[in-house]
Structure 1
Amino acid sequence: MQKMGTQHVMVLPFPAQGHVNPLMSFSKRLTQHGFRVTFVNTDFIHKRVVSATNEEVNLEGSAVRLVSVPDGLGPMDDRIDTASMCSAILRAMPSAIERLIKDMNGGSEKISAMVADLNMAWALEIAHELGLKGVVFCPSSAAIFALQDNIPKLIQDGILDNHGIPIIEEKFQLSPTMPFLETTNIPWCTIGDTTVQKTIYDYLARYMNVTHLTNWWICSTTSELEYGALSLCPKILPIGPILMESGDDKLRSLGQFWEEDLSCLNWLDQQPPCSIIYIAFGSTTFFYPNQLKELALGLGLTKKPFLWVVRDDASDNTKITYLDEFEGNRGKIVKWAPQQKVLSHPAIACFFSLCGWNSIMEGVTNGVPFLCWPYFADQLFNKAYICDVWKVGLGFDLDDRGLIPHWEIKKKVDQLLGDENMRGRSQKLKEMIVRNIAEGGESYENFKKFEEWLRK
């Protein structure tokens, strides 16, 4: 590691697992280039991260400092309620962030720049007013950033009304080089009812209106993966994938909301190459018992070993006994896994995924094909890249109950694992990405350019 410099960067993630994780990985990258980082979580997320941290983790002397501010919600409020969270954030966090910066800049810990998660880009106004350099970091795809940047055009073209709600139900393209998107699958239109969607859209419009305060829009992607989106929105600088390196156990754990069960790595070591189905559905997905049962039955029909991540809050309490009995000798169930390490393990054959952007980047970087099970938000659009553009995965069809039935699961597992061309394309995508992030590659050089600007 280079000698630590005097530049001090504040990093501000949106309070959700899929945002804290990549921003922590990005912070680690900054420290490798000699920067100090103050990482600002909400009080609620800070407590979760600390409680999930392995006891051996010691941050003394680390270039990353953890601090927290209130999110505006009470201790018993539902933080899965995105609309309430967005409203509370705008009430409480701007003044808290401003006070934090002023307090730090009044002492010896002066902040010189702020890196704001795209979903927290309202903070650019604070950075601008206090004379800090401002940067937007997009932890989702460039396509989603481009979609939000083109909202005025979508309103002008009669696709959205002034509240961000679709006027028509049809497919549209942002550009001829990008996949089609259903208006019903526009990310903020997949959450709650119309009132909720309008609240989320208002929050989104609020932060998008200030992204012009910086020329640095950086994204965890590559030009080969998202040529169309980056051509449509050339201001976005691809520096990805931004992933935590395998040896960074100390900082990796600080991006997690649950303690990782490392026993699954020893279990994987005992399995043959390309033999294990890995199933992980992120940090917020809830399964109704009938869908959970169909998934378990489908895995049973495949007669293939599996590693399945099932959070305690992923379904109701009846799941615990049922899945303990189901696990048997052929599979392993854990509450949370070190996903990057799992996906890089030679025993993994494929990845059942919600298609969150971080999981996609981890999967494609390791050459793993996907079985796509999107839930909401950007996941539905991300699936189109996996299945239709890169052609490294398959989706599922619903039955007349609105469920993915067990026979459909078996069918798609057999189809995916029997397709050597699918694995071949996955490996080619991996090779392309590895070249990109290696010295001299586009993402490497783009990050170098950004780092030099930040240091000036």
Structure 2
Amino acid sequence: MEKGGDERHILLVSFPGLGHINPTLEFAKRVVRLGVKVTFLTAKIALKSIPRSSPPLSGITFVGYSTDYGEGRKPVDDNVAHFMSEIQLRGSNKLSEMLSSSAASEEGGRQLPFSRLVYATLMPWAAEVARAHHVPATLLWLQPAAIFDIYHYYFNEGYDEEINQANNSSSWSIHLPGMPNLGRDDLPSFLVSKSKDFEYAIPLYKEHFTVLQSFDEGPPQDILVNTFESLEPDALKAIPQLNLIPIGPLVSLIQDNQNSSDYMEFLDSKPKGSVIYASFGSHTPLSVLQIHEIGQGLKTSGRPFLWVIRDTPNDESWVNYVGEMEKQGKIISWCSSQVDVLNHPSVGCFVSHCGWGSTLESLGCGVPMVCFPLWIDQMTNAKLVQDVWRIGVRVKKELQIEIVKGEEFKRCIEMVMMMGLEGEEMRKNAQNWKLLTQEAGKLGASSDLNLNVFINKL
């Protein structure tokens, strides 16, 4: 029997990174609108990044667990594998404690027990803890369906040996069901990187699929995916033994018309479609050399720009550099609302790392992209942007030094913003995808209906 809205309670587990917190929180808000209570579990270090809303978010309870990481100490400063094991150890203990308390509450009627656990990408251990407590669990996949498919084929369908040959030839390529032809640089970086820093990643992603296989009983399992039907129709249907349910885009495309930040004043002063917006996410450190090459590309483009640079040097030479660059544009250390910027009529191009959240925001705001992917899913996202959705162009690295030169950024910016046929096609496609993305996120649209169907199963 279907439970009433006041009896349903989801325990939502998120990785403590901003690119994970934001879409998971958007999912929580949408679930609450359907009358379901949500308890949101993540590390305490991430709770500070959740914006305080006024009035407070009703129906969502936030719970944190402690780690070795706090003020002044970040995972990037330490061993990432240690950070991941720390999250799993502390998170598992807290989750087990909460599920035990929920079971006791169900018997004693003291509080609303958990109907289901929903665990986001990078949290596969949460499903194992839930199973030990006899609580059903569902994966919330925060990356595109295409990335899920690639990992599935690698771990489950025998494509691992072929993909492992990707580094042996610059002309290597592969065609996977439901996917465009992929070269080495189009694959998720964890599958092809030789860096020891990423050795933790393959076992972690493999665990996702091991867990799913261990739950493989009865009808195809539901996997909630942060995408929408018209964006990835083939990728969503490529794995018949799993039911990939598009419930995205899990981004808020609502513009804050009261945003009075100085960078918005800067945009207000510029002509329509004239500004280059450049931002590369919250966890993508760039070398000083690469920063200067990006700056060279922006400067020689001759166009005004708004450039977000995090963790900047604190010395006189940097101050002088910023002063010189700001004769043409504006440099900021953080943008409180990227959607406000992308929605601004003066913005004509987004130079981006192609994180999935940023890509969805660009699609939803109709801004063509210059893609500078750095790692993880960004490589595949850039492939989709350029060759499938055709709303942008990807920069090319200098093979010997792994740096993208300033003239390459300039070339790509001009291709997107100039009046040639390629640029016109990208801008037209961007506007078409804006309509489709915004439509998918509306109440009563396909993604909303899909989420309703899932919730009604609780």
Give the TM-score category using the shorter length: 0.7 to 0.9
- Deviations for 1:420-455, whole angstroms, at most 9, x for unmatched residues? 12100111122222333335532232122122223x
Q: Distance in 1 between matches of 2:5 and 2:316?
A: 51
How far off its partner does 1:247 sit? 6.6
Q: Tell me if the contact between 1:191 and 1:377 (Cα under 8 Å) persists in the aligned partners.
A: no
Residue matched to 1:252: none
Counterpart residue number, 2:377 = 378
Contact 2:121/2:140 (CA < 8 Å) preserved in 1? yes
Structure 1 residues 344, 247: closer, same or farther in 2, change over 3 A? Answer: closer
Q: In 2 relative to 1, CA 12–225 (structure 1 residues): closer, same or farther, beyond 3 Å? A: same
Match of 1:429 in 2: 433
2:60 aligns to what?
64
Change in Cα spacing, 1:222 to 1:314, as seen in structure 2 (3 Å) is: farther
Taking the TM superposition and a 5 Å limit, the aligned residue runs for 1:40-439 are 40-46=41-47, 48-49=48-49, 53=51, 57-58=53-54, 60=56, 62-71=58-67, 78-80=74-76, 81-105=79-103, 106=105, 107-153=110-156, 155=158, 158-159=161-162, 169=169, 170-175=172-177, 177-182=179-184, 185-189=187-191, 193=195, 195-212=196-213, 213=215, 215-234=221-240, 235-246=243-254, 262-311=261-310, 313=311, 320-337=318-335, 338-399=337-398, 401-418=401-418, 419-439=423-443
8 Å CA contact 2:368–2:391 kept in 1: the answer is yes
One-letter amino acid matched to 1:211: L
Give the residue type in structure 2 aligned to 1:173.
H
Q: Give the TM-score normalised by structure 2.
A: 0.85
Contact 1:179/1:385 (8 A) holds in 2: no
* Cα distance in 2, alignment partners of residues 159 and 316 from structure 1: 46
Give deviations 1:46-86, integer Å, cap 9, x for gaps.
Answer: 2x426xx46xx456462222210134668776513432322
Once residues 29 and 58 of structure 1 are traced to their aligned partners in structure 2, the CA distance between those partners, rounded to angstroms, is 17
Residues 131-178 of structure 1: per-residue CA shift (max 9 Å, x gap): 3332211111111111222223454662257xxx96855321222643
- Whichever residue aligns with residue 90 of structure 1, its letter is Q
Q: 1:197 to 1:409 in 2, by over 3 A?
A: closer
**Aligned with 2:161: secondary structure?**
coil
Q: Residues of 2 paired with 1:395 and 1:287: CA distance?
A: 17
- Count of aligned pairs between the two proteins: 432
Q: Secondary structure at the match of 2:6?
A: coil
Change in 2 beyond 3 A, CA 1:323/1:281: farther
Q: Give distance in 1, aligned partners of 2:255 and 2:300.
A: 37
* Percent of residue pairs identical: 25
Q: CA deviation at 1:339?
A: 0.9
Between 73-82 and 272-281, report the one with greater CA deviation: 73-82
Give unmatched runs, 5+ long, in structure 2.
Answer: none
Instruction: Give the stretch that moved more between structures: 327-336 or 341-350.
Output: 327-336
Partners of 1:156 and 1:431 in 2: CA distance = 36
CA distance in 2: counterparts of 1:404 and 1:35, whole angstroms? 47
CA contact (8 A) 1:261 1:335 kept: no
CA deviation after TM superposition for structure 1 residue 4, in Å = 7.3
Distance 1:374 1:116 in 2: 26
* 1:253 matched residue in structure 2: none
Counterpart AA for 1:126:
V
2:149 counterpart letter in structure 1: A
User: Contact 1:124–1:211 (CA<8 Å) still a contact in 2?
Assistant: no
Q: CA deviation at 1:298?
A: 1.6
Q: Kindly state the Cα deviation for residue 92 of structure 1 after the two structures are TM-superposed.
A: 2.9
Alpha-carbon separation, structure 2, partners of 1:248 and 1:278? 18
Secondary structure of 2:303's counterpart equals coil
In 2, Cα distance between the equivalents of 1:263 and 1:196?
A: 38
| Bigger mean CA offset, 441-450 vs 413-422 | 441-450
CA–CA separation in structure 2 for the residues paired with 1:431 and 1:9: 31
Contact 1:168 1:183 survives alignment (8 Å): no
Q: CA deviation at 1:180?
A: 0.8
Q: Which residue of 1 aligns with 2:34?
A: 33
Aligned to 2:19: 18
C-alpha separation between the residues in 1 aligned to 2:284 and 2:200? 21
Distance 1:188 1:95 in 2: 28
